[in-house]
Structure 1
Amino acid sequence: MLKHLTKVAQIGCLSLFFFLPSRVDAQLMTDQKIRVAGVEREYHLFVPDDHHNAPVVLLFHGHTNSSDELIGLSGKRAPQASFRVWLDIAKKDNVILAIPNGRYVSRREKGWNDCRADAPTNSKADDVLFINKLLDSIVDEYKANPKQVYATGHSNGGHFAIRLAQEIPEKITAFAAISASNAANSECKDANIPVSALVMNGTADRFLPYSGGPMMAKRGDVLSTAGTLHYWIKRNGTDPFAEMDKLPDTTVKDQSRAEKYTYKNGINNTEVVLFRILNGGHTTPSIQVRNRRLLLRILGNQNADIEMADEVWSFFKTKKK
């Protein structure tokens, strides 16, 4: 059973107005807790008024970040702060958002146990069990739609979304990996259940090499973005050739542009989509939430032609088990 109202943040109130979209006026239940295998795990939960048969979207923060930083509760402009746009989407389209916290990998840093066997700084927690139990609780308590469960995250959070599609594919309808790719040295077992996949990677990402290989800071090796796509195209049985859309380059100052490649007609109506962010860095594309200059110097260019959350939701909402 979920423990509610440990702390409640009223979205749109004055104290949070700077960090959260003012159009969201429902309640976000923060610091919720669930005990999994004797360990207390934390998460935030957004539940719309009309939650019966609602879709569920899981949002995962990156390595060293937190669920607070992901949706703007911390007061820090985190690299993936544009995920707070999901709160607007959830209010508008009656979506349940589950925003879990990873386990500590040091005294102050949180992260996820994703598929990278050669990333020694990954958490060792059984995060798949945590999410499995959390989803069961949400479906049971709020009568959410188990056939519309989606997972997305940035960097380590994106890698973990891939792990969920590998290890509990019967529960994940689709996933979106932002600045993330399949592990080259994977500790996860390959599944064969089709799961629609979206990948959104920057070609100038210094942390996650677009062409594959070792990640920065000894965070393990990854497949190239092309290799990652090949895996999901083959697994889902989609068309081998994509429909390509060169998206409008509306913001010259961001020094990047976006292309979209869609592989259709997969098993059980699955699809695979690539957003190729030309000259994009280790960032989440956003029109509404811009990274500070210092972050851009570290992470690289942030595309401003598309809104990551809107593009991912447009992909998710058409997918059903």
Structure 2
Amino acid sequence: MRRLAIALGLVLLLPAAQAQETLRDRIKARIEQRRAERGQDAPATGGLQELQVQGRKVLVHLPTGYDGSRPAPLVLAFHGGGGHAEYMADDSHYGLQKKADEAGFVVAFPNGYSKLQGGRFATWNAGGCCGDARDRSSDDVGFARAVVAALKARYRIDAARVFATGMSNGGMLSHRLACEAADVFRAVASVAGTDATASCTPSRPISVLHIHARDDDHVLFDGGAGAGAFRDESKVMSFVSVPDTIARWVQRDRCTAPARRTLERPGAYCEVHEGCAGGVSVQLCVTDSGGHSWPGAQRVRRGKEEASQALDADDLIWRFFEQTPPGPSQ
């Protein structure tokens, strides 16, 4: 009798349990639907959305308060040579997620070409540099275009305010994108990575910001590869100098005004070339110290010189992007 009573009890409880399970499934489905509507249905990695584009990882940070109700600016941030997306997304090294929250832009961290399954030790094909990406002629301009298209399909992106920035080899790729994808990117900003292109014919004038330390021991300020660059010299190039990089963009953008100093403080200065075609500008910011690092960073790689605190690269870059007139929507 006792066994019968237990069995009857289980039978009576079963519909209620099934109803609870059905309710949970409905709630879960509704949550997933709402997240998808807000562009938040991608897997999360440490608070970041993770996408796959052309077989490569792209980490995405949506700014605080993002709900997809209005288009947001987009910044693609490219890691340095030998780095990877997670490292570029680390705010202790770069601070771009925090800046995105403050300013309200979406920031994405694509992964470069890597032979390793996890994507570590990746490089970008920026023209003359660097590593396996260059040697294998990786189509990183095409990849960057595909990343932007994927993000526009998933999130509410303002196509007239799409920007690129990067560190070292990633900065070099930003210069290349200005040359070959000016129809997509409104402006670019490079830190510690000079122009590595052999030829450059932008489809329209484009604003360019370059940030560099005078004592950079990788990409030497006055040109050439320093002692801190890749040990295998065949993986890099004789880097173009900072002055030549700026001169190239002044010519490409047909700037007529001489450089005007916009900031000068102990350890750093900035200057701008105006009177350029299409209302764009070419800007340069220089720190006296900091080596091959991101100005304002709180942490650098072990054994490297501390980053200069005379400038905050995140503030400079976003102010530059924000002040660039929006282009036509694509």
Category of TM-score, reference length = shorter chain: 0.7 to 0.9
Cα distance in 2 between the residues matched to 1:292 and 1:180: 17
Equivalent residue of 1:206, what SS?
coil
The equivalent of 1:308 in structure 2 is 313
Give the conservation status (yes or no) of the 8 Å contact 2:79–2:167: yes
**Identity across matched positions, percent:** 23
1:106-157 CA-partner distances (Å, limit 9, x unpaired) = 685111111116x454453222111111111222332311111110010010
Note the 1:11-90 alignment, pairs <5 A: 28-29=48-49, 31-34=50-53, 36=54, 40-48=55-63, 49-51=66-68, 52-72=70-90, 81-83=92-94, 85-90=95-100
In the superposition, relative to structure 1, how do residues 220 and 212 fare at CA in structure 2: closer, same or farther (>3 Å)? same
- 1:170 counterpart residue number: 183
Partner residue of 1:228 out of 245, 252, 257: 245
Match for residue 280 of structure 2 among 270, 277, 280: 270
Q: Residue in 2 aligned with 1:294?
A: 303
Find the residue that maps to 1:148 and give its secondary structure: strand
Retained in 2: the 8 A contact 1:50–1:94? no
CA 306–279 in structure 1, closer or farther in 2 if over 3 Å, else same = closer
Report whether the alignment pairs 1:206 with 2:206: no
Give 3-state SS (helix, strand or coil) of 1:115's partner. coil
Report deviation, 1:193.
1.6
Secondary structure of the 2:173 match is: helix
Can you list the C-alpha shifts for 1:31-64, whole angstroms capped at 9, x where unaligned? 3212x3xxx1111011231442211000010011
What RMSD over aligned residues (CA atoms) do the two structures have, in Å? 2.4
2:84 and 2:302 mapped to 1: Cα distance? 21
**What residue in structure 2 maps to residue 193 of structure 1?**
204
Distance in 2 between the 1:247 and 1:318 partners?
20
CA distance in 2, matches of 1:315, 1:97: 16
Could you tell me which runs of 5 or more consecutive residues in structure 2 were left unpaired when the two chains were aligned: 1-35
Asked whether the equivalents of residues 60 and 154 of structure 1 are also in contact (C-alpha less than 8 Å), the reply is yes
Counterpart Cα distance in 2 of 1:203 and 1:103? 29
**AA partner of residue 230 (structure 1):** A
Return 5+ residue gaps in structure 1 as ranges.
11-27, 74-80, 250-256
State which of 99, 103, 113 in structure 2 corresponds to 1:93.
103
Seen in structure 2, the aligned counterparts of structure 1 residues 231 and 137 have a Cα distance that, compared at 3 Å, is same
Contact 2:183/2:204, CA 8 A, preserved across alignment: yes
Give me the whole-angstrom Cα distance separating, in 1, the residues matched to 2:199 and 2:308. 32
The answer to whether the 8 Å contact 2:114/2:132 transfers is no
| Regions of 4+ moved over 4 Å | 1-4, 105-108
Taking a change above 3 Å as real, the CA distance of residues 180 and 231 of structure 1, as seen in their structure-2 partners, is: same
CA distances 1:211-248 after superposition (whole Å, capped 9, x unpaired): 11345332112221111101111111223411114433
**Structure 2 residue 43 is the aligned partner of structure 1 residue 6:** yes
Distance 1:292 1:3 in 2: 32
- Indicate the residue corresponding to 2:155 in structure 1: 142
Whether the 8 Å contact between 2:212 and 2:287 is mirrored in structure 1 is yes
Q: Does the CA contact (< 8 Å) of 2:220 and 2:241 recur in 1?
A: yes
8 Å Cα contact 1:59/1:99 also seen in 2: yes
1:8 Cα shift? 4.0
SS of 2:190's equivalent?
Answer: strand
Paired letter, 1:223? V
2-structure distance, mates of 1:126, 1:173: 20
- Tell me, yes or no, if the aligned pair for 1:111 and 1:156 is still in contact at 8 Å: yes
Give the TM-score of the pair, scaled to structure 1.
0.78
Counterpart in the other structure of 1:18:
none
Letter in 2 for 1:91: D
